[in-house]
A = this chain, B = another copy of it.
Amino acid sequence: MLYFENDYTEGACSAVLEALIRTNGEKLAPYGDDAYSLSAKEKIREICAAPEAEVYFLTGGTQTNKTVIAGMLQSYEGVIAAQTGHINCHEAGAIELSGHKVLALPHRDGKLDAGEVERFLGTFWGDEAHEHMVFPGMVYISHPTEYGTLYTKAELEALSAVCRANNIPLFLDGARIGYGVMTPESDVSLVDIAALCDVFYIGGTKVGALCGEAVVFPRNNAPKHFKTMIKQNGAMLAKSRLVGVQFDALFTDNVYFRIAENAITKACRLRKILAEKNYRFFIDSPTNQIFVILSDEKLAELRKNVVISFWEKLDERHTVVRFATSWATTDEDVDELEKLL
């Protein structure tokens, strides 16, 4: 069986696994004070060119989004997101459970448009009844988006400018940020993100770790007592080494970037194969997720040998599916798939 279902099918990439093995017997401080967490934070500060950054490690994406958003919003504020944003669709209402509305705006290829955000903010502040409405208190974007698309640097700058003009933070969900920065078409680096966003996270779970996300407040701007917020959100591990060791390994010798690059290389090959074979793309996504329209017969046939993700029904006879590559995808996997397509 071939696996192109998602980017969290395997365990840890080899560097991460080796680090866990190597450090297993060490006696380390708990609750975020272990030496590997401290070391990993320093490495992340360097890679982001953000020497003032505060970095916190959590274990998963929904947990991270919830803790960051609830931690930064006032009770009367909500978070602006694309209609297709992960927090709006696939987190089981975690944000609302924490008391805050997701203010959903239309998307373009999964992205929020700075002009749209600006108009929304202008309308809100111009409305005489705005005291009876949810205040927009943050902008949330994902990069890559849920459709595998990427913001350009100009788009990110525009969003950042709108946020700063309105004095609200810009939060970037980087669950797959590694794939984003390693995409050749992209002109956005981690340094850009640290400069333009007020908080973001570097995803581990989907980029080679067993679990773990690194939240970065790039300008020493974490909410007061954020550590206690992590605790009360159930997001603090006693053995914080588990995430600390993994991120320390990921940011040693460019492991994070090298494994992300592998996924991108394989995705490019696969995209080319699909194009040559005249498959129809559902959306033009340059990262490690490829959305393709298949006839239902073709889908049934493929599924005998390949695991891929159902995305949505297009019409009565066609289905949108997702092929995802990862740090673990090999050229042999792509060769095999090519034969089947």
List A residues 212-235 near B (Cβ within 8 Å). 224-225, 227-229, 231-235
Interface size on A, residues (CB 8 A): 76
- Interface-central residue, A3, A76, A233, by most chain B CB under 10 Å: A76
CB of B96 within 8 A of CB of A11, answer no
Query: Which one of A62-70, A161-169, A258-266, A270-278 is at the interface?
Result: A62-70
- B97/A242 in contact, CB under 8 A: no
Q: Is A89 an interface residue when CB atoms closer than 8 A count as contact?
A: yes
B234–A134 contact, CB under 8 A? no
CA distance A201 to B264 in the complex (A): 41
Collect the chain B residues with CB atoms within 8 Å of residue A1's CB: 27
Are the C-beta atoms of A96 and B100 separated by less than 8 Å? yes
Known A6-B30, A17-B21, A227-B131; judge A93-B97 contact (CB<8 A): no
A31 to B9, CA, bound (A): 11
Note all chain B residues with C-beta closer than 8 A to A232: 62, 75-76, 91-94, 97
Contacting B at CB under 8 A, from A5-34, are: 6, 8-12, 17, 20-21, 23-28, 30-31
In the complex, A225→B137 CA distance in Å?
13
State whether A97 and B11 are in contact (beta carbons under 8 Å apart), knowing that A228-B92, A242-B211 are contacts in the complex.
Answer: no
Quick check: is A145 within 8 A (CB to CB) of the other chain? no
**Please, which residues of chain B bring their CB within 8 A of the CB of A71?**
75
How far, in whole Å, are A101 and B87 apart by their CA atoms in the complex? 11
User: What B residues does A70 contact at CB under 8 A?
Assistant: 75
* A93, B71: Cα distance in complex, Å: 15
Partner of A131, one of B9, B92, B96: B92
**A interface residues with partner B (beta carbon < 8 Å):** 1, 3, 6, 8-12, 17, 20-21, 23-28, 30-31, 59-64, 66-67, 70-71, 74-76, 78, 89-94, 96-102, 104, 128-129, 131-135, 205-206, 210-211, 224-225, 227-229, 231-239, 241-242, 307, 310
Report 9 cross-chain contacts, Cβ distance below 8 Å, ordered by A residue: A8-B30, A8-B239, A20-B210, A76-B225, A76-B229, A92-B133, A101-B101, A101-B102, A211-B211
